[in-house]
Amino acid sequence: MKYVSTRGEAPTLAFDDVLLTGLARDGGLYVPESWPHFSTGEIASFASLSYKDLAFQVVQPFIGGAIADADLKSIIDAAYSHFDTDEVAPLTELSDGEWIMELFHGPTLAFKDIAMQFLGPLFDHVLAARDEHICIVAATSGDTGSAAIEACRDRNNIDIFILYPHGRVSDVQRRQMATVVAPNVHTIALQGTFDDCQDTVKALFNDLAFRDRMNLSAVNSINWVRIVAQIVYYFWAALKVSAPAGSVSFAVPTGNFGNVFAGYAAHRMGLPVEQFIVGTNANDILVRFFESGIMEIEAVVPTISPSMDIQISSNFERLLFELYDRDSSMVARTLKAFRLDGQFAVDADILARTRKIFDGGRYTDNQTRALIANHYAKTGELLDPHTAVGLAVSRSHRRNSSTPMVALATAHPAKFPEAVEAASGVYPGLPAHMADLFDRDELINVIPNDLAAVRGFIEDRAKNADRIGGAAP
Ligand SMILES: *Cc1c(COP(=O)(O)O)cnc(C)c1O
């Protein structure tokens, strides 16, 4: 299996190079040259597999010989041993044919762990084989940072630098990052906004001399390997609920379009899916697109589901590539127009193809709070605000009540305790492994919003680790 860029001007790469490269050099995103495909019989044969064994079956066709099967098995075993249940993504039936899949049983309580926990041991394996060291630099508005830190901590061939906006992440999110004591973990509390953090990271990657010298690597959701890890739980859910005999629908609280694109990939691989419902908060660029065929940027509005406070859903480019029948010059042209004008439109036939399987719904903060309160009153269970948006649209936009519907629960309620308490009157407690989070010592490195200052900090810390440019000890 080889990987091509959605914009057609970057070299074709193997799986391990795609892992380390992240963004393609032409500004595009890597996608598989063709979709692996499972027959109905093959999917049926997965029904009794454990999550780890299923992960091996689903991921293996993407590896293309870059990693030996036995090594891949050990990597998957390591990846999913830090979840608080062997099921990794347990499903509960709320009412007849209405399901919730909990994706927050990993170390940092959000679904990002499912991909990041896989990335950690995978990086280790690939870097050790090549005798290389990388510096991961990433910006976070909260959840990605802690998931990446947990996945990469204490790994010899990696230094990880996470930029977050000083004073603008929740206490739980900050503590999940700033209390980690590991020699290769470095957090940066940037005196700026999340956009400043992202701009700084982009500027670091665009400084090619710095990028090459430090061997910078990216773990944001444009990294193809994160999508691969997320495809697994769509098969897992469908097998529990209906597949391969019948189809299934999914409702996905969406920001960067990474999670739901993994579902679409599962569908392309043979999984019978009737409908994907994209749930958004007031930042509804995707919903407006599904309604009108016009993608148009507006200002970001802060909400109680901050991990979806996004205007540019980077992974949508991968879907566009498929909608345009893999015409990379069309994708490149469209995305260029989008950058210049802040909008693009697709033809009626492309919109019709999109709508065949995608729907979108938006929920205001008030509606989301009401759903959390109502769900708590009915079931005694608390939902985090992102999950509540997903469940809400799974009900309002469901096309066919005889097709099972799986709503994805993307975060544990304790990750957003203030919002959950305001909605339900109940303060969600942290699970046992994090119960002492507020007693741990914090190390906060406040850095001015200044590129040279950030670059200096990274050079300093990575150098102190004394491994740059050479082999790991
Ligand atoms: C990241 C995140 C999302 C959005 O996922 P995308 O893959 O960016 O669409 C939704 N909910 C939570 C809790 C998240 O952390």
Q: Which of 146, 308, 315, 408 to mutate to test the pocket of ligand 1 (most atoms within 8 A of CB)?
A: 308
Q: What count of residues does the chain have?
A: 473
Q: Which of 143, 222, 358 to mutate to test the pocket of ligand 1 (most atoms within 8 A of CB)?
A: 143
In the reported structure, the alpha carbon of residue 410 is separated from the centroid of ligand 1 by a whole-number distance in angstroms of: 7
In the reported structure, the alpha carbon of residue 393 is separated from the centroid of ligand 1 by a whole-number distance in angstroms of: 15
Q: Give yes or no for a contact between 331 and 324, defined as CB atoms under 8 angstroms apart.
A: yes
Amino acid in position 194:
F
The structure tokens listed for 216 are 């910078």
Q: Which atom of ligand 1 is nearest to the CA of 254?
A: 9
Report the pLDDT value the prediction gives residue 463, as an integer from 0 to 100.
62
- Give 408's strand partners: 101
Q: Which of 275, 272, 269 is CA-nearest to residue 238?
A: 272
Q: Where are the domains of the chain?
A: 91-108+229-424
Hey, how many other C-beta atoms are within 10 angstroms of the C-beta on 196? 17
Residues with CB under 6 A from ligand 1: 110, 112, 143, 221, 253-259, 307-308, 386, 410-411
Q: How far apart are CA 91 and CA 74, in angstroms?
A: 25
Report the pLDDT value the prediction gives residue 464, as an integer from 0 to 100.
46
In the reported structure, the alpha carbon of residue 243 is separated from the centroid of ligand 1 by a whole-number distance in angstroms of: 25
Closest Cα to atom 14, ligand 1: which residue? 307
In the reported structure, the alpha carbon of residue 257 is separated from the centroid of ligand 1 by a whole-number distance in angstroms of: 8
Chain Cα centroid distance, residue 361? 20
In the reported structure, the alpha carbon of residue 252 is separated from the centroid of ligand 1 by a whole-number distance in angstroms of: 9
Report the pLDDT value the prediction gives residue 300, as an integer from 0 to 100.
85
The structure tokens listed for 298 are 């507006």
Q: Is the dihedral of CA 344, 349, 350, 354 positive or negative?
A: positive
Q: Is the dihedral of CA 15, 307, 419, 165 positive or negative?
A: positive
Sheet holding 248-253, edge to edge: 91-95, 98-102, 405-409, 248-253, 273-280, 358-362
Q: How far apart are CA 350 and CA 323, in angstroms?
A: 6
Closest Cα to atom 2, ligand 1: which residue? 307
Q: Which of 113, 176, 259 to mutate to test the pocket of ligand 1 (most atoms within 8 A of CB)?
A: 259
pLDDT along the chain (473 residues), means of 10: 96 95 86 97 96 98 97 98 96 95 96 96 95 93 90 94 91 93 95 87 88 89 93 98 91 96 98 97 96 93 90 92 98 93 95 97 98 97 98 97 97 95 96 91 95 96 56 37
CA–CA distance from 154 to each of 35, 121, 150, 192, 240 (Å)? 35, 11, 9, 28, 36
Q: Which of 112, 240, 378, 415 is catalytic?
A: 112
In the reported structure, the alpha carbon of residue 346 is separated from the centroid of ligand 1 by a whole-number distance in angstroms of: 25
pTM: 0.94
Which ranges in 190-280 belong to alpha helices (H)?
Answer: 194-206, 208-214, 224-241, 258-268
Q: How far apart are CA 153 and CA 143, in angstroms?
A: 16
Active site residue 112: yes
3-state helix, strand, coil split of the chain in percent (to 5) is 45, 15, 35
Chain Cα centroid distance, residue 380? 28
At the topology level, CATH places domain 91-108+229-424 in Rossmann fold (3.40.50)
* Strand 98-102 to 91-95 pairing: antiparallel
Contacts (Cβ under 8 Å, ≥6 apart) of 252: 259, 260, 263, 276, 277, 278, 279, 390, 408
Q: Which of 46, 40, 75 is CA-nearest to residue 58?
A: 46
